[in-house]
Structure 1
């Protein structure tokens, strides 16, 4: 039976004392539920927008790289804040942990300001570069300009929710995300189609509903932090720039942000390849991305949770706990993703029906979902290994894996598009994800030998 450990403090955070299995359930289940709720943002938008026509859905697909880039960068820096904050709590350094929270917020504010400038001046250029279809351009500009100008809502929401996770208070994060999703669900049909005297705003309505939901969620997360998060002392002092803390956040957060930002780049590239066949193909792709997120949400939730848990135990020197956490996470990842494969193979047409798919979108979509779904176990393994790298101070491994993934995907898809059809392009996912998972596994073996086995204290 696992021992309860005390880190020479009167009381220690549950991340260092609770039995590993129970800890993962306590921390990851609320995070997974909250991320499932969060994913409904984009899924709900896509379902309602699909009722505006195929061009609207294609416009949303072309918008995905920007909205994903914003989310990825802000999440990346929260990973850095999370790792530093959790590690400092594990070391008993509450003062530096508090500085990590404040400095992390400031970094995300800078990111939001950059996207505000993009939303004001560069969205039209972004769409004219991708397509000559004026309707798709106009619809995309309507959506993206609003979500970028009001990026501060997402920046605050992301960081404030992760503060709750980093300090072992996942329930607050669940309530925050649940609030945002309910707001989005209520406002989407009202603002898109026009109800209760509100004019129909179409794509603008979808964007307004999204940013309103993000600000609502951020407000709830702030309230929970102020009320129940005793590890963080909110005040002006936490926002004073602290060079060493900022450097530590950047050391983990920047590679994480860059690593996650490669995914939007890959989406952008795939959209250009698919547009070479038909405008229906990017619509299929955005449907796949939305549906894939449902399958991988448990892995993303586990990933985001385990960064804090492993970082804490790494700071505290608990080697055996770290090894056990890694083992359980890998088993859970394989089991969850295999279920996803079975679902996608069994009911692809029903899944596409959620997005009002018909005609060419339906024909291409059924084949695409059945082919791509085989990559889920490999994608899941790569994702969870990336969390281990980040928590153990090897974020560059995660970045390298993502770069390889992006380059390999685009090269393979380009070759398959040149020599085949829109149906053969989907095999690029299988080729890429299998190779990338093997590379990530080799990196993990090196991390095990050079980091985990050298941690000074075991149980």
Structure 2
């Protein structure tokens, strides 16, 4: 179940990098603009995926407990509520996009690019949240190959359309940064259409009847009980990036750009790891619902070993060829030198972060959303921001980068203890 999602996430991370490369070819202002908009995109994605994770876990737990009607209700209400989330985010996101950008830059060119890109992306909010609801529902019943096909197709359409719409190749209009945003929206629409078509060709073992769409207080409570912490887990990086952008901006715009490039590159590492987590979650939730504690432990250990290997490979890559990685996004010598230094420091914490990543996913699968949120708060707020602020005063910008790996070490130890305590409660 994990391999199809790892492959699709690998393609997704490739899209993130390719998208950045094409935009960077326009100008560094354009690259900085999408770096500033990224937290907004990530927040929307976090809301959709986080609530989808809640839907996924509740469905799998109900199926493991042999409660088919309750599982169908959870799936139906999950889609409806996430659709509403997308509508609200679109309205408020468009209204507050310019004030948000003004917080980080006074460069009118960057702000103009950010507005052009951000508003088009936000117009596809409802499609994106609905697509991700179906993704989690298909995963909850073991239809991982369909998720792989949908996500892979979505990303490939995006990758193909990016240069065509940005630069106006062939019959396509030259749309600049708007083209990158439109390619993203078309890719998301493609993914949703594939899910709808797949559910017609081979129906899910869940039912979508009007009676199941009627809000049920108990099911909604369980959906949000896992979904809200999961959403906050995924939204916290957006908060972290915005806060670090402010801190790094006191040094130079180059450091802000380096942070944006780093998050593009790290998606190539952490998204495949997240694919393994997505494969782990429904199996663990099902066995947790069936009270198979030994299987829960085995699933956790297996996922941990695999993800540590993935992160170890990423560490080697960042230490060996940092210049080449940064050069994908910038030809500026100052940016490459600053990026090399940042990558080599940050990557020290990659491997150990696997413990926190797997533990947070396992706790969500067990319905322990608050415990998972605690781990994410440590990674993205409680430790890293104070450490970055304090270290920056003593070691300059290098202190900010050192805060990353120190945070990962402390959080890994804490998260391991949390999982051990929760596992003993069900063993």
Where on the TM-score scale, by shorter chain, does this alignment land: which range?
A: over 0.9
Deviates more, 1:221-230 or 1:167-176: 221-230
Aligned residue number for residue 331 of structure 1 = 305
Rounded to whole Å, the distance in 2 between the matches of 1:368 and 1:192 is 30
Q: Deviation per CA, 1:172-223, whole angstroms, max 9, x where unpaired? A: 0011012111211121111111122433211111111101110111110121
Do the aligned residues in 2 keep the contact of 1:153 with 1:215 (CA within 8 Å)?
A: yes
Does 2:406 match 1:441?
Answer: no
Rounded to whole Å, the distance in 1 between the matches of 2:307 and 2:93 is 37
Q: Deviation per CA, 1:272-326, whole angstroms, max 9, x where unpaired? A: 1111111111211111111111112232111122111111011112122112111
Rounded to whole Å, the distance in 2 between the matches of 1:238 and 1:202 is 44
Rounded to whole Å, the distance in 1 between the matches of 2:139 and 2:199 is 10
Do the aligned residues in 1 keep the contact of 2:319 with 2:343 (CA within 8 Å)?
A: yes
Rounded to whole Å, the distance in 2 between the matches of 1:223 and 1:39 is 25
Question: Which stretches in structure 1 are left out of the alignment for 5+ residues?
Answer: 1-26, 454-459
Aligned residue number for residue 127 of structure 1 = 101
Does 2:292 match 1:341?
Answer: no
Q: Deviation per CA, 1:91-131, whole angstroms, max 9, x where unpaired? A: 11111111111111112112111221123311111111211
Aligned residue number for residue 144 of structure 2 = 170
Rounded to whole Å, the distance in 2 between the matches of 1:336 and 1:167 is 26
Does 2:57 match 1:65?
Answer: no
Rounded to whole Å, the distance in 1 between the matches of 2:81 and 2:354 is 29
Aligned residue number for residue 381 of structure 1 = 355
TM-superposed CA distance for 1:264, in Å, is 0.7
TM-superposed CA distance for 1:380, in Å, is 1.8
Aligned residue number for residue 282 of structure 1 = 256
Question: Which stretches in structure 2 are left out of the alignment for 5+ residues?
Answer: none
TM-superposed CA distance for 1:256, in Å, is 0.8
Does 2:406 match 1:416?
Answer: no
State the superposition RMSD in angstroms.
1.4
Alignment of 1:313-324 (within 5 A): 313-324=287-298
Does 2:110 match 1:136?
Answer: yes
Determine which of 319, 330, 333 is the counterpart of 1:359.
Answer: 333
Alignment of 1:249-268 (within 5 A): 249-268=223-242
Aligned residue number for residue 397 of structure 1 = 371
Rounded to whole Å, the distance in 2 between the matches of 1:41 and 1:221 is 20
Alignment of 1:88-127 (within 5 A): 88-127=62-101
Rounded to whole Å, the distance in 1 between the matches of 2:190 and 2:211 is 25
Q: Deviation per CA, 1:143-183, whole angstroms, max 9, x where unpaired? A: 11111122112111111111111101111001101211121
> What TM-score do the two structures reach when normalised by structure 2?
0.96
Determine which of 174, 181, 190 is the counterpart of 1:200.
Answer: 174
Aligned residue number for residue 78 of structure 1 = 52
Aligned residue number for residue 7 of structure 1 = none
Which SS does the other structure have where 1:131 is aligned?
coil
